[in-house]
Amino acid sequence: MSNLAPQRGVGAAIRSAARQVWLPVGILVVVTAVDLVTGSSTAYYPFLLLAPTLAAATAPPLAILVIGGVSLPLRYWLASRDGYLGAEYTDLFRVSTWMYVMATGLAMYLSAARIRRERALVAVSEVAVAAQRAILLPPSDKLGGLRLAVRYFAVAEEAELGGDLYIALDTPFGVRLIIGDVLGKGLGAVRTAAITIGAFREAAYDEPELSTVARRVDTSVTRNAPADRFVTALLVEVRPEHVAFTHRGHEEPVAIRADGAVHVLEPPEPGLPLGLGELDPEPPRPWVVPFGEGDLLLLLTDGFADARDAGGRHYPLVDRIRALFGEGRPTVPDPVVAVERLGDDLVRHVGLLRLADDALVLALARAPDPPKSPPAS
């Protein structure tokens, strides 16, 4: 096994080099072949200039220098065969040769600038991804009598990471969660997500009322997040046989009952997103719905509803949940199975296209009570 890794490394390097130079090398071969086939009646050797210039888009400067060095004598040879090195063409050929050399040098400069930009972009992307991963820590499989699972689809175009967020905490007031989506993308969205999660972590352990937790998080986002950022969020508190929600402009949760019935839990008092609470003098009160053993709760971000297939059709979230988990199913699936099944279905819907926005699904269910041991004789 120790010899396989170097061999794979050499093979990968060869494939990478081939991807970088296949276009300019192909131009050299095609132009030379066409010039030889057509004879001296037509001169195609000036098109050799395309090889080093187009190489700036893919090849490193050293490769461009080699391509230019190879194509110069090839250019001279083709011009000689076509009869363009006579006295009447000497000055013209000399000028075109200098132009060829300068174009090769310019291509090397552009290639070096492109490589510097790519490296800087990779560095920024790695920092952004590390920051986002530090925020979106995976929850424990079991937390305060609940089973949890999450699946996250990040759409990172260059460094434009999204701002989906979530956290689950076992507090003195029960298990509390927040799921949200920051307006916008990039490092500003990641920073706002970190502010939101930090504020929720502090308030969730201190405040007995879920509405007060929401108000404290809203205040923190208003004070500390960039002025153009706000967060749609749903705050959740799991109580014995019930679950309470505080809505702040987020996607409605979906409950799958033990009998397979699917319910979209619409808030009776929709609230404004976090960071805009000052526009609403009376923030919404929590609402409570039953949540017993065998029920499954799905919390989602709008990346699911916004996903489109090749025909431009939105992902039919509720219909797909009913088809995957609803009536006619013998049992409601485990949260891990549920998020995997729903995520795979989303990927099939999108196909070869990219998601328009980050997508996040968090599933939770009550953990069954451990079986009681029979009393001792």
CA-based torsion, 25, 27, 33, 36: positive or negative: negative
Q: Do the beta carbons of residue 180 and residue 232 sit within 8 Å? A: yes
pTM above 0.75, yes or no: no
Quick one: angle between helices 335-350 and 317-325, nearest 10? 130
Give the pairing type, strands 287-290 and 242-248.
Answer: antiparallel
Domain boundaries defined on the chain: 4-128, 139-366
Which of 86, 70, 67 lies closest to 94, judged by CA? 86
Question: What backbone torsions phi and psi does residue 51 show, to the nearest 5 degrees?
Answer: -60, -60
- Between CA 301 and CA 186, with CA 148 as vertex, the angle to 5 degrees is 35
Which of 87-101, 163-177, 281-295, 347-361 is the most confident on average?
163-177
Higher pLDDT, 185 or 321: 321
Q: How far apart are CA 221 and CA 223, in angstroms?
A: 5
Share above pLDDT 90 across residues of the chain, in percent, rounded to a whole number: 32
133's CB contacts (< 8 A; 6+ apart) are none
Count of alpha carbons within 13 Å of 152, Cβ hemisphere only?
A: 21
What is the DSSP secondary-structure string of 266-280?
--SS--PPBT-GGG-
Q: How far apart are CA 112 and CA 129, in angstroms?
A: 26
Q: Is the pLDDT of residue 208 over 70?
A: yes
SS3 298: strand
Q: Average pLDDT of 209-217? A: 93
261 DSSP 8-state letter = -
Residues 312-361 have pLDDT tens digits of 899 999 999 988 887 666 667 789 999 999 999 999 998 877 777 788 99
Question: Which pLDDT belongs to residue 99?
Answer: 86
Tokens representing residue 207 in the block: 């405040």
Where residue 2 falls among pLDDT bands split at 50, 70, 90? Answer: very low
CATH of 139-366, one of 3.90.650.10, 3.30.565.10, 3.60.40.10, 2.40.50.140: 3.60.40.10
Q: How far apart are CA 256 and CA 247, in angstroms?
A: 19
Q: How far apart are CA 140 and CA 149, in angstroms?
A: 8
Higher pLDDT, 167 or 371: 167
Which of 314, 319, 288, 287 lies closest to 303, judged by CA? 314
Place of tokens 């190489």: 55
Q: Give the chain's mean pLDDT.
A: 83
Share above pLDDT 70 across residues of the chain, in percent, rounded to a whole number: 84
SS3 362: strand
SS3 136: coil
Q: How far apart are CA 307 and CA 302, in angstroms?
A: 9
End-to-end CA distance of the chain: 58
Give the residues across from 166 on adjacent strands.
Answer: 179
SS3 312: coil
